[in-house]
Amino acid sequence: MASSRYFALIPAAGVGARLGAGYPKQYLPLAGKPMLLHVLETFAAAPSIAHCFLVVSEDDAYIEAVMATAPQLAGRVTVLFNGGATRHASVLNGLQAIRAQADDQDWVLVHDAARPGLSVALIDKLIAELRDDPVGGLLALPVVDTLKRDDTTGRVAATVSRAGLWGAQTPQMFRYAMLRRALEEVEEVTDEASAIEASGLAPRLVEGSVRNFKVTLPQDIALAELLLKGLP
């Protein structure tokens, strides 16, 4: 177990339709550089990460220019042009592509390209808490807002208890063989933890950070800018 390595896998083949930027949101400029580059630089700066694999679409027209501006990533990041139509497909394609590099017991940290607020400290915290865990787990935050369920007409149908509820973040960290098998056995999931849950296992929750939020809507851009400019 002590010899297990830690690989980062970043699915970035999406188009970011909800953001309405006209191009994939992972390339949106934030704090002076493409959003994706913040993520890649964080993983490249983490000594615990053996290597970072980026999964983009086959016809990605932006990544080569981005990588050309970041020579510091050479040798630390490999771009895989085999992204799928969904996150599930992209992650599974990525896992299949790195089979020659990753052993069954190596850990894979899957992270959203649209979470540029990730820090090396959060990566280290996740690894420290999960390195000896039999299942693995994910960064997440306890839900603090009062939750309402609507009645499909825009009115409140019920107040939902927030007790025991967490909002999932990334990275989500599982061993290579376990994660690949879990993803191969389910039809479609929106995160890796869901696939592990479907196999009958219980991922561990590790408290993350509000700075590690996902840029999804136009109003998220200004907040991301503020957070990134404040990061050390």
Residue 47 has pLDDT above 70, yes or no: yes
Name the pLDDT band for 187 (thresholds 50, 70, 90): very high
In a domain, 218, yes or no: yes
**Domain CATH code at residue 33:** 3.90.550.10
Mean pLDDT value across the chain: 93
Q: Which residue has the higher pLDDT, 1 or 212?
A: 212
DSSP string, the chain: -TT--EEEEEE-----GGGT-SS-GGG-EETTEEHHHHHHHHHHH-TT-SEEEEE--TT-SSHHHHHHT-GGGTTTEEEE----SSHHHHHHHHHHHTTTT--TTSEEEE--TT-TT--HHHHHHHHHHHTT-SSEEEEEEE--SPEEEE-SSSSEEEEEP-TT-EEEEEEEEEEHHHHHHHHHHSS--SSHHHHHHHTT--PEEEE--GGG----STTHHHHHHHHHHH--
**Domain with 30 in it:** 6-140+168-230
> Quick check: is 91 in a domain?
yes
Q: Tell me whether residue 154 is in a domain.
A: no
pLDDT of residue 217: 84
**Does 81 fall in a domain?**
yes
Number of domains in the chain: 1
pLDDT in tens, 156-186: 999 999 999 999 999 999 999 999 999 999 9
**Within a domain: residue 94?**
yes
Check pLDDT > 50 for residue 1: no
Is residue 71, in this structure, part of any structural domain at all?
A: yes
Residue 70 counted as domain residue: yes
Q: Is residue 157 in a domain?
A: no
Q: Tell me: the pLDDT tens digits for 82-141? A: 999 999 999 999 999 999 999 999 999 999 999 999 999 999 999 999 999 999 999 999
**Predicted confidence (pLDDT) at residue 3 exceeds the cutoff of 90:** no
